[in-house]
Amino acid sequence: MVLANGSILAMSEQFAIGEVDVVIATVDLSAVRSFRAANASRSMQAARLDVRYPRVRLAFSLSAERSEFDYSAVPSMPIDPVRLHEPAEEINLGPACWLWDYLRRSNQGGFFLPLSGGIDSCATAVIVHSMCRLVVSACQRGDAQTVADVRRIVGDDSYMPQSAQELTGHLLCTSYMGTQNSTEETQGRARRLASAIGSYHVDLRMDTVVGAIVALFVLIAGKQPQYTVHGGSHAENLGLQNIQARLRMLLAYLLAALLPWARGKQRSLLVLGSANVDESLRGYFTKYDCSSADLNPIGSISKADLRKYITYARVHMELPVLDDFLAAVPSAELVPYSVDYTQSDEEEMGMTYAELSEYGRLRKISRCGPYSMFVHLLHLWKEKGLTAEQIAAKVKRFFFYYSINRHKMTTITPAYHADTYSPDDNRFDLRPFLYDSQWTWQFRCIDEAVAKIEDRNLKGIE
């Protein structure tokens, strides 16, 4: 960005996958001198000083004198209006650039993403597709570095991507890991999304694996756990749900390691998580389930903002399948279907996602404790017709679950930093957690040193 006298004369793209982006502007230094001289308060302060600083005159001028003035040099005019991205556009571009940077530095072959049929994993998949769109556009512009990175990652020295869908097929593997508790609706949504963006998709049922784990427990304990809808206790119900969630994490890493091998590729895949900021703050996820991954592009984005992003992407990327995700009711689908009970995220949490976003912003941005949050919400929610007692109960419920689930934040997947509203600071430690495996400059220095040593030894022998 080039600025002069408070105006923007030139600016690069806000989000780009290139390593270097150069912008050029012609600045009128005489105008800068006049602008600074117009600051009368500084002149008055200087006049009142007792200290006199010596002036050293040089035969040099930053702004051209009349005899040397170049009339052909036209100053750049201020950009008006300045184009800034909307939040949905930032979600579309920022995490996409972040993912590409880590992919090319990690020396891996792409990403693996469990697709649940819900809006969170859907948004993550669409962001990867957005990354592929940026990469294809850069390749078509002739960006030599991006072309080289793509060929190295794909493993083909002559490869040139022709479309985002084609590149997504090389860089993204998705899988729907269903059980007897899963529905055809979520499975169908996941399959249609994978087809629309072009990912390599695997549909699997893991009931045999779940059954084997449960059978092992029965052998150990001599008791058969049951879901609540079948008369089981809360502990049984939670245990049976967590088995499914954690097995998905194990299967995700297995498929990320071996699917490329099965497809004849050399490099394994980075596993992507898709836990949103609201669920992380509330602790509404299983520790070491699919939220445990290598990277999480939506880890600092709220459910409400993800819905806005999917609405934006539906038009911007021409993906009509996203309408199905916007209309779906969020559900983990970890318990059997019952006429009397259908699992719903908001019912299980005891709060809506809209309320959870409100809690999160008050807690993390305004630094509210229970009492100050209660006072804030008394004013914010008075139009909802809630009594003070009802608001107090909601605040207490949030802080209870917020407190007991803090331990989950110590192992949560590193996420893209999009907002000050985030579950915990340890997710955004500025120290690098992934180094460039190529170590280009350092390795080159080593090679040069080795060459010098060998040359010196040869000369010594001679």
pLDDT tens, 322-337? 999 998 877 777 778 6
> Residue 259 pLDDT more than 80?
yes
> Residue 174 pLDDT more than 60?
yes
pLDDT (average), residues 287-296: 88
pLDDT (average), residues 93-121: 94
pLDDT (average), residues 234-249: 92
pLDDT (average), residues 209-222: 95
pLDDT value, residue 429: 43
pLDDT value, residue 253: 96
Q: Out of 126-140, 271-285, 431-445, which region has the weakest mean confidence (pLDDT)?
A: 431-445
SS3 assignment, position 337: coil
pLDDT value, residue 196: 96
* Angstrom distance (rounded) from CA 30 to CA 33: 5
> Residue 434 pLDDT more than 70?
no
pLDDT tens sequence across 139-156: 999 999 999 999 999 999
| DSSP calls for 103-135 | HHHHT---EEEE--SSHHHHHHHHHHHHHHHHH
> 13 and 23 in contact (C-beta within 8 Å)?
no
pLDDT value, residue 254: 96
* Angstrom distance (rounded) from CA 13 to CA 27: 20
Neighbours of 438 (CB within 10 A): 12
Confidence of residue 351 (pLDDT cuts 50, 70, 90): confident
pLDDT (average), residues 70-94: 88
SS3 assignment, position 5: coil
For the chain, percent of residues with pLDDT exceeding 90: 45
pLDDT (average), residues 343-366: 80
Q: How many CA atoms lie within 13 A of 337 on its CB side?
A: 8
Confidence of residue 73 (pLDDT cuts 50, 70, 90): confident
Neighbours of 388 (CB within 10 A): 12
By CB neighbour count within 10 A (0-12 exposed, 13-18 middle, 19+ buried), where does 188 fall? middle
Helices of type H across 48-118? 87-106
* Angstrom distance (rounded) from CA 373 to CA 390: 13
pLDDT value, residue 433: 47
Q: What is the pTM of this model?
A: 0.83
Confidence of residue 339 (pLDDT cuts 50, 70, 90): low
> 290 and 114 in contact (C-beta within 8 Å)?
yes
| DSSP calls for 282-305 | HT-S-TTSTT-SSBBTTTT--HHH
